[in-house]
Copies of this chain bind each other. A is one copy, B any other.
Amino acid sequence: MSDLDGFRAEVRAWLEEHAPISLRGRPGDIFHGHWGGRRGGFESPDHERWLRLMVERGWTAPTWPTEYGGGGLSRAQDAVLQSELRRLRLPPPLIGFGLVMIGPTLLEYGTEAQKREHLPPIIRGEIRWCQGYSEPGSGSDLASLQMRAEKNGDGYVLNGQKIWTSYADESDWIFCLVRTDPAAKKQSGISFVLVDMDQPGVTTRPIKLISGASPFCEVFFDDVKALARDVVGGENNGWTVAKALLRHERTMVGEVFARSVMGAEAELLGLAREALGPAEGTLADPLLRDRIVQSAMDERAFMLTIQRIQDAAKTGQPPGTESSILKVYGTELNQRRRELAVTLAGADGLGWEGESYASGHLALTRDWLRSRGNTIEGGTSEIQLNIIAKHVLGLPDGGAR
């Protein structure tokens, strides 16, 4: 306890002295900050200085071992560091899938050589990573993926296509699931491989969504090379690694949605007052008023459920498949909210572009459209319900997955 207090004092003093003044009061989150990578520029010189300073202490990856350049902090110390960063409302010095996805995976499944090669560039923000899982033919049924990796000397030749790869067009390396044994059944012939995207044969193409531009890309592999030493977890054993990472991803998505739904009541009420008037007193439309309350109550119940799951985890109850509950409910909650928002806005929520519309109103349209994907991406609601039925409720398998 007093150790932690000491650590806090030290962190606070250091931050007060070093953290660039210009960045204070500008908090980011895991999706808003500096992504790093070969092509990543900085928003300002202070952003660059902030990264260098933190990298020096290993605090871009505070809990990773110091031998790879990490901070070597305990979870408790990390919590102190994060709370001090929040206190000054500082942005994270570095974000990205290297830190939250492939890094932790390598720490768990990687060889010593893999960790030494790949972790330091992640920590220093030199290499930006993306994830190559889904393929056009394999959505919910991920294990049916078709992208091939054929042995060739001391490595593999990759051919195939990935889809829904976030920021592929801005990334340097990609971690991919590929089929290394076409004869093996589904899961058993899959390997988890790291691929340098800076080579011929790799093509990325951004995907336009119904809501407009998106970070998602298609990635095409045409005789692309990967090294044997870049297979993680062993050849044909990639499914185990992938599953662990997927669980991790779902929790992350849940947290993002938890944040996204906050404040529904105030937002919706604002839209309602704008559309319905009067500025005070009971809303003129009792049905819309009732839907706003439902949104508010749903949000409150959802946030309390997140808290309950966290509190249960603290008392040592083993975490279960709560991520599926949060995924299903959180995404649908957000959809209902976005739908209610456009409904409240009426014709103001129907604009696509142009100066006739306020930017806030245009965002309503786009956000509503984008929200329709929430129940599809990161594991469809249907898949989550299957998981709950089988693994939580213990209902018998009917062959449908």
Contacts and interface: CB of A to CB of B under 8 A. Distances in A.
A113 interface: no
Nearest to A290: B287
A316 interface: no
A190 to B, nearest CB: 26
A400 B397 CA distance: 12
Contacts of A400: 398, 400
Interface residues of A, number: 6
A267 to B, nearest CB: 23
Contacts of A399: 398-399
Nearest to A289: B286
Nearest to A398: B400
Contacts of A290: 287
Interface in A254-287: 286-287
Contacts of A286: 286-287
A282 to B, nearest CB: 11
A386 to B, nearest CB: 13
Nearest to A285: B286
Interface string A374-401: 0000000000000000000000001110
Interface string A284-297: 00110010000000
Interface string A198-242: 000000000000000000000000000000000000000000000
A291 to B, nearest CB: 10
Contacts of A398: 399-400
Contacts of A287: 286-287, 290
A286 B286 CA distance: 7
A399 B400 CA distance: 10
A163 B398 CA distance: 28
A290 B286 CA distance: 10
A140 to B, nearest CB: 15
A93 to B, nearest CB: 51
A290 B288 CA distance: 12
Nearest to A286: B286
A286 B282 CA distance: 13
Nearest to A287: B290
A63 to B, nearest CB: 46
A343 to B, nearest CB: 15
A287 to B, nearest CB: 6
A352 B150 CA distance: 74
A146 B399 CA distance: 27
A17 to B, nearest CB: 59
A269 to B, nearest CB: 18
A276 to B, nearest CB: 14
A290 B290 CA distance: 12
Interface string A301-320: 00000000000000000000
A382 to B, nearest CB: 14
A51 to B, nearest CB: 53
A399 B286 CA distance: 46
A217 to B, nearest CB: 33
A236 B401 CA distance: 38
A290 to B, nearest CB: 6
A399 B398 CA distance: 9
Given A286-B286, A287-B290, A400-B400, 5 more contacts: A286-B287, A287-B287, A398-B399, A398-B400, A399-B399
8 contacts: A286-B286, A286-B287, A287-B287, A287-B290, A398-B399, A398-B400, A399-B399, A400-B400
Q: Which 8 A-B pairs have the closest CB atoms?
A: A286-B286, A287-B290, A399-B399, A398-B400, A286-B287, A287-B287, A398-B399, A400-B400
